[in-house]
Structure 1
Amino acid sequence: MLYLIDKPMAEVGLRTAANDADGIVVLIQDGVLLDPDLDAPTLAVERDVEMRGLCLPERIDTVTYDELISLMVDHEVTSFV
C-alpha cells in the first residue's frame, strides 16, 4: 500500500502506515515538513521539498511527481491529503 500523507492528516496517516509491514509512505505538500520515525520506506516529493527549502534526513528519499505517478499506478493508494 502506498500512503500519501500531508501534514493536516499526518497523525492518522502515519499511525495507519505504521501497521502495514509492506507500506510505503510518501510525504506530499506540507507533509514534507514531517520527520516520521517509521520502519516503512519513506519518500518525499522533491518539488515540495525544494519549494520549502528543506534538507531531509538521509532515511527519507525524494521522488519526482512523475515517479510518484508510476508508484501510484503500481500500488494501491490510500490518501491522507
Structure 2
Amino acid sequence: MLKNDDEITLNKWLLLLALCTALLVGYELGKLIYIEEQVTPQKQAANWGRNGGPSIAPDKPETPPLYRVIWDLMNEVNNEE
C-alpha cells in the first residue's frame, strides 16, 4: 500500500499531467480554429438601401445644390431692379 506522502505526491503529479494535457488540447484546438478561419474566404457584406433593395446612387440629385438656389435667388433680385 502507498503511504500518505506518496499519495499526495502521486495526486500532485496526476493533477499536473491533467493540467498539461488540457492546455495542450486547448492550444491545438485553438490553433486549428484560427487556421480554419484564415483559410475560409470572408463574405463581402452587401450594402442595402431603402426597402431592402440594393443601394444605388441616384442619377440626378433630387434637389439642386444650395449654392445654385442662392445664385438663382440673387439673379432674380438683380433682374427685378
Higher helix share: 2
Q: Same fold (TM over 0.5)?
A: no
The structure with more radius of gyration? 2
Using CA pairs under 8 Å that are at least 6 residues apart, name the structure with larger relative contact order, 1 or 2: 1
TM class, shorter-chain normalised? under 0.3
- Using structure 1 for the length normalisation, give the TM-score: 0.17
- Using structure 2 for the length normalisation, give the TM-score: 0.17
